[in-house]
Amino acid sequence: MVHDARHTLSLKGNDYFVISHQNITERKLAENEVEKLSRLDGLTGIANRRSFDEFLESEWKRCKRLRIPISLALLDLDHFKLLNDTYGHQAGDECLKSIGRVLEKYSGRPSDICARYGGEEFAIVYGNTNLDQAKMIASKVLDEIRSLNIPNEKAPTSPTLTASIGLAEMHPSSENDESQLVKMSDDALYQAKESGRDKVSIHLDSSE
């Protein structure tokens, strides 16, 4: 892309046009790359919290318009602090990267997103997905995390890394909003951790 800049130059009473050409393609590509990177988590390479919030709001509106369900899974790594303390922060970082790769495999549709929600907590949005469908996917995610066999020998849950998932589904309407879905998923995650971890706990939409 070339940008023409035209300037008028006056010399000894005569006006001259000075035309300069500036190729802005590289600058635009660089700006796009910066914008893209600002939406990714620097460690795992998946969406960050900002991207998650924006995507959830957009997908909520789409599901509301089409009158279809939306599901949200919040995932927390069990006893991750013990893993960090036992093996060091570099091992912890590698663990988080591995989890990001797993979640990407199970959020491949345009109506899905996986994101690092904060620390060792992750989130997955499933548009046009009911609770039964989302639970099947979430169970596969936990199975794959177990199959990574990442050592966490001091954890009381298991000598290898496990995770807990809180899952909720809603039908967006004028009577609810996406913050309620997040609250329901968070409550379900708390239930999963309080009842032994390494499991999927679900929260039903009481407004239906």
Query: How many CB atoms are located within 10 Å of the residue 119 CB?
Result: 11
SS3 label, residue 87:
helix
Instruction: Give me the pLDDT at residue 26, please.
Output: 72
DSSP state letter for 199 = S
| Domain range annotation of the chain | 2-32, 42-203
Per the listing, tokens 């907590």 go with 121
| Confidence at 71, pLDDT banded by 50, 70, 90 | very high
Calpha distance 70→53 (Å, rounded): 14
Strands 70-77 vs 163-170: parallel, antiparallel or unpaired: antiparallel
175-201 per-position pLDDT tens digit: 999 999 999 999 999 999 999 999 999
C-beta of residue 162 within 8 angstroms of C-beta of residue 145:
yes
Q: Choose the weakest-confidence range: 18-22, 81-85, 163-167.
A: 18-22
Average pLDDT for 162-169: 98
Name the CATH topology of 42-203.
Alpha-Beta Plaits (3.30.70)
Model pTM? 0.82
Average pLDDT for 161-169: 98
15-58 per-position pLDDT tens digit: 555 555 566 677 666 655 555 657 899 999 999 999 999 999 99
> Which contiguous run of DSSP H or E holds residue 170?
strand 163-170
